[in-house]
Amino acid sequence: MSKEALAVTSKVKEYIKAKGCQTSADAIDAINKKIACILDAAVNRVKSNGRATVKPYDL
């Protein structure tokens, strides 16, 4: 997969800042990788169940 951003950096930083913390330079990359893993697992679950639509319970 390409290094395409899945999370909106400004929104993530804003969310973390509102919680009283700061965001490190490499945190966004780690968050994007985590999101990709979650989505990959959901897609695998959907396909193994013979479906084509990811639903909330697949996450």
Domains in the chain: boundaries: 24-59
Nearest to 30 by CA among 59, 7, 10, 14: 7
DSSP 22: -
CA separation for the pair 20, 49 (Å, rounded):
41
DSSP 56: G
Predicted local confidence at residue 25, as pLDDT: 86
> Which stretches of the chain drop beneath a pLDDT of 50?
1
CA separation for the pair 31, 18 (Å, rounded):
17
How long is the chain?
A: 59
